[in-house]
Amino acid sequence: MSKLNSLAISDNGFIFKPSTGESFTTNEIGLMIINLLKEGKSADEIISVITEEFDIDAISAGRDLYEYLDFLKREKMLD
Amino acid sequence: MNKRIYERPLLRKVVEGIPNKFGSLKRLRPISTIDNVEIDSLIEEYGSPVFVLSEKTIRDTYKNAYRAFSTRYPKVQFAWSYKTNYLDAVCRIFHQEGAWAEVVSGFEYEKAIDNNIPGNKIIFNGPDKSEEDLVKAINNKSLIHIDHFDELYMILSLMDQLKERPQVAIRVNMDTGIIPQWDRFGFNYENGEAWNAINRILSSKKMDFIGLHVHIGTYITISKPYAVAIEKLAALANKTYNRFQKSIGYIDVGGGFASQNTLQGAYMPATDTTPSFDDYAHAITTAMTAADFPNNETPMLILETGRALIDDAGWLAGTIMANKRLADGRRSMVIDAGVNLMFTSFWYDYEIYPVHESSYQSEPTTIYGPLCMNIDIVRKNIDFPMLNKGDHFVIKRVGAYTMTQWMQFITYRPNIVLIDQNEKVHLIRKQENKEVFRRQELVPDYLQN
């Protein structure tokens, strides 16, 4: 989780990565996922938080979560 | 408790670069109704995808076009271009509004007759007229627009067997400044072929030479070439009068008016660049009035406008089948309607909208159709909201050439419905099923078991 903690993240989803100088934007759910990851939540826990709050089934939420985690890994924000 | 609308998580890198020429992107507003009918309910009742036609738009567009021309020129006649959309219901709406029929094949000719159009209000164009077609057209006193000398001689050879005098015009091709110049249809003006054809027709004394036809091209976005064409046809009409003392009854300027669909590669959207009916009408009627026709006569002006009259009235509603990431990370979406239904998406950048608000974020997306074919691309690159599987979309302006050029490849063609002026929905072409194809196919005995 150390990599995520090194990011500067604003409340409206603007992400600055000091190590490379790159900037990113994410949406509300993306921001929620990052915050849950920083709290050390597992993928299954994150899925259940999302399905409780949003109108989505667990399979679809899981599919999107793993794709998002893949993005974060590709941008080297996550191990 | 009502749960909140879900939107897929998104991560987008902020890239510095030249600003987009149109400035910041506008959010794509959903379109959820057509003529006050819910698109969701249309899909529920008639399946997905489904073509939807608006009778109100058809009639309004026709009236607007007719007004533009008839307020500027005394004798105007529209002929509905069957090839653009030959669904009987559509043709009959145009005929009710006063349009004749313009057909280009024996099949279309039969359709026009079945739609109760009198033979003398059917214009028969095109290079493909069989002997049987021509006999029928001559007997019905239809307006035969001769395309080539072989057709002309075929008509002459039929004269001994028939009582009626053929009512003929010739199609003329010419240089109007349009590139590419369409020279595969009709007789050329500049090299004298058109004049030779007129001589042959009138010296035979067996046919009534009644008009001149030109069709300068398709999706013509400037109105001036029509004026050039009319000047040349007027010169031909004068030459004909001087030699044969025969004046022509009409000038048919064909079709070719652009619709508001944007062509791929165009710099500006067509909604900003396409001339209006008034622009076309101004150029054409000014040229008709300025042209010096023999005896100061005013020939009838015939228009065979297709695309510009029907494109806006057609919609295609369907369903998202899948979201995918391409190898380079770009987003793609698979929808249940592809180039099989919209052959036209090879050259148009169709406007596609979500039916409901489901995402406030959008991403550059490639939209693919459902065919197992690499070229089945509906939009190469569109900034599109992140819809989910099962969500509905609707594509705008698909009235022209879709329902006639569609192909039956690996799947059945869908239902087509018409929303009438009272917002009542009518099924006007049934979805195909396996029985439709079974009826057409025959299996030899030795392959039966």
Q: Cα–Cα–Cα angle for A11, A17, A22, nearest 5°?
A: 110
Q: Is there a domain that residue B449 lies in? A: no
Q: Is there a domain that residue B15 lies in? A: no
Q: Given this model, what pLDDT does residue B374 score?
A: 87
Q: Which residues pair with B366 in a beta bridge?
A: B332
Do A33 and B360 make contact, defined as CB atoms within 8 angstroms?
A: no
Do B9 and A22 make contact, defined as CB atoms within 8 angstroms?
A: no
Q: Given this model, what pLDDT does residue B358 score?
A: 76
Distance, in Å, from the CA atom of A16 to the CA atom of B329, rounded to the nearest integer, reads 21
Mutation pick from A7, A23, A24, A27 vs chain B, by most beta carbons of B within 10 Å, is A27
Mutation pick from B8, B25, B320, B359 vs chain A, by most beta carbons of A within 10 Å, is B8
Write out pLDDT tens, residues B134-147: 999 999 999 999 99
Write out pLDDT tens, residues B310-362: 999 999 999 999 999 888 888 899 999 999 999 999 989 999 999 998 777 78
**Do residues B66 and B205 both lie within one domain?**
yes
Distance, in Å, from the CA atom of B317 to the CA atom of B62, rounded to the nearest integer, reads 24
Q: Given this model, what pLDDT does residue B30 score?
A: 93
Domain covering A2-74 in this structure, CATH number: 1.10.10
Do A24 and B10 make contact, defined as CB atoms within 8 angstroms?
A: no
**Do residues B306 and B321 both lie within one domain?**
no
**Do residues B208 and B228 both lie within one domain?**
yes
Q: Given this model, what pLDDT does residue B216 score?
A: 84
Do B11 and A24 make contact, defined as CB atoms within 8 angstroms?
A: yes
Q: Residue B277: pLDDT band by 50, 70, 90 thresholds?
A: very high
In sequence order, the 6+-apart residues with CB closer than 8 A to the CB of B369 are B334, B335, B336, B337, B338, B339, B340, B341, B342, B376, B377, B378
Distance, in Å, from the CA atom of B236 to the CA atom of B245, rounded to the nearest integer, reads 13
Distance, in Å, from the CA atom of A25 to the CA atom of B119, rounded to the nearest integer, reads 66
Q: Given this model, what pLDDT does residue B433 score?
A: 95
What's the gap in Å between the CA of A60 and the closest CA on chain B?
9
Tell me how many domains chain B contains.
Answer: 2
Q: Given this model, what pLDDT does residue B238 score?
A: 93
**B381 close to B29: Cβ distance less than 8 angstroms:** no
B19 pLDDT above the threshold of 80: no
**Do residues B45 and B77 both lie within one domain?**
no
Q: Given this model, what pLDDT does residue B255 score?
A: 87
DSSP secondary structure letters along B327-340: TTS-EEEEES--TT
**What CATH number corresponds to the domain at position B64?**
3.20.20.10
Highest mean pLDDT range out of B6-15, B92-101, B259-268?
A: B92-101
Write out pLDDT tens, residues B116-125: 999 999 999 9
**Do residues B68 and B171 both lie within one domain?**
yes
Which of B11, B360, B389 comes nearest A30 by C-beta? Answer: B11
Write out pLDDT tens, residues A7-64: 999 998 999 998 888 999 999 999 999 999 999 999 999 999 999 999 999 998 998 9
End position of a domain, from candidates B252, B284, B311: B311
ipTM over 0.85: yes
The parent domain of residue B119 ranges over 56-311
**Do residues B305 and B341 both lie within one domain?**
no
Between strands B300-303 and B76-81, the pairing is: parallel
Output the pTM of the full model: 0.88
**Do residues B178 and B226 both lie within one domain?**
yes
Mean pLDDT of B385-406: 94
Mean pLDDT of B259-270: 84
**B94 close to B72: Cβ distance less than 8 angstroms:** no
Interface residue ranges in chain B relative to chain A, Cβ cutoff 8 Å: 3-14, 325, 329, 360-361, 388-389
Domain-wise residue ranges, chain A? 2-74
Q: Given this model, what pLDDT does residue B21 score?
A: 58
Q: Residue B23: pLDDT band by 50, 70, 90 thresholds?
A: low
Q: Residue B437: pLDDT band by 50, 70, 90 thresholds?
A: very high
Residue with tokens 């090299």: B191
Q: When comparing pLDDT for B178 and B110, which is higher? A: B110
Distance, in Å, from the CA atom of B27 to the CA atom of B330, rounded to the nearest integer, reads 19
Residue B439 in tokens: 């009826």
**Do residues B66 and B198 both lie within one domain?**
yes
End position of a domain, from candidates B311, B333, B348: B311
Distance, in Å, from the CA atom of B156 to the CA atom of B150, rounded to the nearest integer, reads 10
Q: How far is CA B363 from CA B13, B25, B229, in A?
A: 11, 11, 46
Mean pLDDT of B213-238: 88
**What CATH number corresponds to the domain at position B41?**
2.40.37.10
Sign of torsion, CA A53 A54 A58 A61? negative
B26 pLDDT above the threshold of 70: no
Do A30 and B3 make contact, defined as CB atoms within 8 angstroms?
A: no
End position of a domain, from candidates B271, B288, B311: B311
Write out pLDDT tens, residues B283-323: 999 999 998 888 888 999 999 999 999 999 999 999 999 99
Q: Is there a domain that residue B445 lies in? A: no
Q: Cα–Cα–Cα angle for B338, B341, B347, nearest 5°?
A: 75
**A43 close to A61: Cβ distance less than 8 angstroms:** no
**B301 close to B78: Cβ distance less than 8 angstroms:** no
Mean pLDDT, chain B, as a whole number? 92
Classify residue A79 as exposed, middle or buried by CB count within 10 Å of its CB (0-12, 13-18, 19+).
Answer: exposed
Q: Is there a domain that residue B77 lies in? A: yes
What's the gap in Å between the CA of A47 and the closest CA on chain B?
12
